[in-house]
Amino acid sequence: MLIHLGTLSHAAGALLFLLLSALLATAWRGRMRGALLLTACLVSAIWCAALAWQSLTGHLSFTAIGLLEVVRNGAWIAFLLRVLGAARGEERGPDRHLRPFIVPAVMACAGIAALLLFQPYLSPEFLSRRAGISLLVFGQVVVAVLGLVLVEQFYRNTLPEHRWAIKFLCFGVGAIFAFDFFLYSKALLYRQMDPGLWMARGVINALAVPLIAVSAARSPSWSVEIFVSRHIVFHSAALLGAGCYLILMAGAGYYIRLYGGNWGGVAQAVFFFGAVLLLALLMLSGQLRARAKVFLAKHFFRNKYDYREEWLKFTETLSRSEHDSNVKENIIRAIAGIVESPGGVMWARGEDARFQPVAAWHAAFPVTAKVPADSSLVGFLREREWIIFLDEITGDPELYAGLELPSWLEKYQNPWVILPLMHGAEVLGFVLLTRSQTKRQLNWEDSDLLRTVGRQAASYLALLGLSDALADARQFEAFNRLSSYVVHDLKNLVAQLSLVGENARKHGSNPEFIRDAFGTVANATAKMNRLLGQLRKGRMDETTSKMVNLKPILHKVVKARAINQPRPVVQHIDEGLIVTTDAERLGTMVEHIIQNAQEATADDGEVRVRGERDGQQVIIEVEDSGCGMAPQFIAERLFRPFDTTKGNAGMGIGVYESREFFRGRGGDVEVASTPGKGTVFRLILPLAGAEPTVEEEIQTSMEMAK
């Protein structure tokens, strides 16, 4: 019986290694690593066959079996050295880093072969003390340890992203050397070989064959392309699983009958019937079969897609978008291109919480096909995040239990796939793809890739929505800022007109006052017309800029503010201060600064205005002897818009607007202030490149006098 078990064990190993060798031989493309793997598998098949023959007939000698094992170990070590060198980037051959492995391996294999070959010539005393056998066993232990070390080094030196391809090889070959180490270590310790472990070697080697085959199929650099039908693998796995299940149930039934007493036979029959019924239900379960197919395809077969290439094509298609409508259309086109769909339609959530069509690519645009947010379709997409394959609904309805499709979908031409666009746990929309003309069958890998690109597309849509909201917010912000500027200017105009109304009671009969009042009203009317024009344009842009002389502008502003206390005075203005700007806007900005200086200074204080040249800059200084400002206030609050110390009387926009005006023309606003002593505003503008002509100066003076 022992001989028959050993024969069957090693025959199984020989058969599986022979089948793997045939696959490798038909798929070999001429590379050295593939040749070494083929050689190792073929030698292993011959070695297992020799052990099976020796176990059955006893004709092969111990020396022949030992030499075959040396050749087998040498072939696997040579293959491991080659792939280890490739993992370290030593494609042309091993370097000094591999010498610590090569030398002991060669010496151990050569020593074992020498002992086997020269065993007949050794003295009887040497053999009687079993020293020769011990040396042979010790050599096998050394070879097994070297094999394990090479497997460990190969796995360690392989990049993490490539380990998925070689991990099964490491498990398989490592198991072979680990079992040999255990077998020969025990023999060395007890000075005799364990017959049971010796017979189990064939089964152990046979179990390593599928693992080696998987790694060979996953490693195209070995130039082997093994193809095994997915249907064969699935049915084989199902048969193997059913067999293991029945063996376990048989064992359980045996113990039930053994310890069940008088009811043991009945309990065993009921148990067997229930076990077979459960097995039938499991085998006929569509969901279990689908999960098993996905598991086998993910872990035992090469990927259907080159994901790097697919991702680059997807992002490239989206990057071609020039405006919003192109983004949505390109999303449909990029998704449809993955599964060779001829067209599709995108639905997105609208303001009324309903999903409505927003884009189509080579497909009819169903204008009235709107989907409520609380519909069964949206709820199914949100809860399960599944891709709906419409062909599966009729063929396998249990996968889509509780799903009710919209009625308009029945009238749509060639619907095929509904892909949710998920952003986090939220459904931003979904894409309906039309059926491929190539009758393509979609599987789990198509589903995974489509789900991934769906999430990426949803992030694009979310970013697009945020961009639209930001653009709207910026438009409202610009309008509000413009309104603040306009209200600020209107406040100053209202103050001027109110002052005219108050003085009219006292000086209404004075012709000079009447003439000044009409001029003030005309000036206010012109400014209000300009503000209305800017409001209609939607921006605070200036009129045509030109070179102007600052002297008449500053004199006019000081004169206009002289009706308030303390009256500002022009202390000094250099000649030839020429700048390029809008004279009216410049006057308004300087007037804001002078007005603030007057409001911060007592009636008996002083407000002085100066204009001077500093290199290629023009500096306008407005100095007052008022209350001054603290450095912290200047740094944190002075130029902050809508921050005012005047309560309801101020807008908090004048100083900020003035600084933005001067900075927009290449200048700046600087402030120096001491609390209780006063403040100096320095308004800086670049000097114009040339002086204006006499006609331009006359025209500027006439405009400022209006």
Nearest residue to 404 via CA among 385, 378, 430, 424: 378
Query: What's the confidence (pLDDT) of residue 132?
Result: 52
What is the number of alpha carbons within 13 Å of residue 40 lying toward its C-beta? Answer: 26
Helix and strand tally (H, E) in the chain? 22, 13
Nearest residue to 173 via CA among 277, 251, 84: 84
Query: What's the confidence (pLDDT) of residue 187?
Result: 84
In this predicted structure, the answer to whether residue 666 has a pLDDT above a threshold of 50 is yes
* 654 vs 359: which has the higher pLDDT: 359
pLDDT one-digit tens code per residue, 436-465: 876 667 766 777 778 888 888 888 787 777
| Phi, psi for residue 690 in degrees, rounded to 5 | -145, 155
**Rounded to an integer, what distance in angstroms lies between the CA atom of residue 359 and that of residue 347?**
7
Q: What percent of the chain has pLDDT over 70?
A: 69
What's the full length of the chain, in residues?
A: 706
Ramachandran region of residue 158, left (φ > 0), alpha (ψ -120 to 50) or beta?
beta
pLDDT one-digit tens code per residue, 558-585: 888 887 889 899 988 888 888 888 887 8
CATH 3.30.450.40 holds for 310-470:
yes
Q: What percent of the chain has pLDDT over 90?
A: 6
DSSP structural state of residue 206 = H
**Rounded to an integer, what distance in angstroms lies between the CA atom of residue 286 and that of residue 638?**
73
**Rounded to an integer, what distance in angstroms lies between the CA atom of residue 483 and that of residue 472?**
16
* Ranges assigned E (strand) in 302-425: 344-349, 354-361, 371-372, 388-389, 415-423
**Rounded to an integer, what distance in angstroms lies between the CA atom of residue 649 and that of residue 495?**
11
* 172 vs 690: which has the higher pLDDT: 172
In this predicted structure, the answer to whether residue 497 has a pLDDT above a threshold of 60 is yes
Ramachandran region of residue 440, left (φ > 0), alpha (ψ -120 to 50) or beta?
beta
- Rg, C-alpha atoms of the chain: 46
**Rounded to an integer, what distance in angstroms lies between the CA atom of residue 188 and that of residue 672?**
96
Q: 3-class DSSP state for residue 556?
A: helix
Contact 501, 508 (CB under 8 A): no
What single letter denotes the amino acid at residue 292? Answer: A
With a CB cutoff of 8 Å and minimum separation 6, the contacts of 634 are 671, 673
Least reliable range by pLDDT among 397-406, 449-458, 697-706:
697-706
Contact 109, 74 (CB under 8 A): yes
**Whole-number mean pLDDT of the chain?**
76
In this predicted structure, the answer to whether residue 543 has a pLDDT above a threshold of 60 is no
Cα separation values, 271 from 243, 253, 595, Å: 17, 7, 101
First to last CA, the chain: 125
**Which residues on adjacent β-strands are paired with residue 53?**
none
Span 677-695, average pLDDT: 75
**Rounded to an integer, what distance in angstroms lies between the CA atom of residue 224 and that of residue 14?**
21
Helices 583-599 and 444-507: crossing angle, nearest 10°?
70
pLDDT one-digit tens code per residue, 109-165: 777 777 767 665 554 544 444 555 677 788 888 888 888 888 888 888 888 777 777
**Rounded to an integer, what distance in angstroms lies between the CA atom of residue 197 and that of residue 90?**
38
* 584 vs 238: which has the higher pLDDT: 584
**Rounded to an integer, what distance in angstroms lies between the CA atom of residue 124 and that of residue 119?**
10
DSSP letters of 439-503? -PPP-HHHHHHHHHHHHHHHHHHHHHHHHHHHHHHHHHHHHHHHHHHHHHHHHHHHHHHHHHHHH
* 268 vs 85: which has the higher pLDDT: 85
Q: Which residue has the tokens 């002389």?
A: 549
Span 510-528, average pLDDT: 75
Q: Provide the residue ranges of all domains of the chain, joining segments of one domain with +.
A: 2-227, 235-300, 310-470, 544-705
In this predicted structure, the answer to whether residue 641 has a pLDDT above a threshold of 90 is no
**Rounded to an integer, what distance in angstroms lies between the CA atom of residue 641 and that of residue 666?**
21
Span 513-517, average pLDDT: 75
Query: What's the confidence (pLDDT) of residue 121?
Result: 54
* 85 vs 349: which has the higher pLDDT: 349
Return contacts of 352-356, CB within 8 angstroms, 24+ apart.
355/429, 355/430
Query: What's the confidence (pLDDT) of residue 679?
Result: 92
Query: What's the confidence (pLDDT) of residue 693?
Result: 47
Query: What's the confidence (pLDDT) of residue 241?
Result: 67
Span 202-226, average pLDDT: 76
**In CATH, which of 3.30.565.10, 3.40.50.300, 3.40.50.1370, 3.20.20.10 is domain 544-705?**
3.30.565.10
Alpha helices in 508-539 (DSSP H): 511-537
pLDDT grade for 94, boundaries at 50, 70 and 90:
very low
Span 42-59, average pLDDT: 87
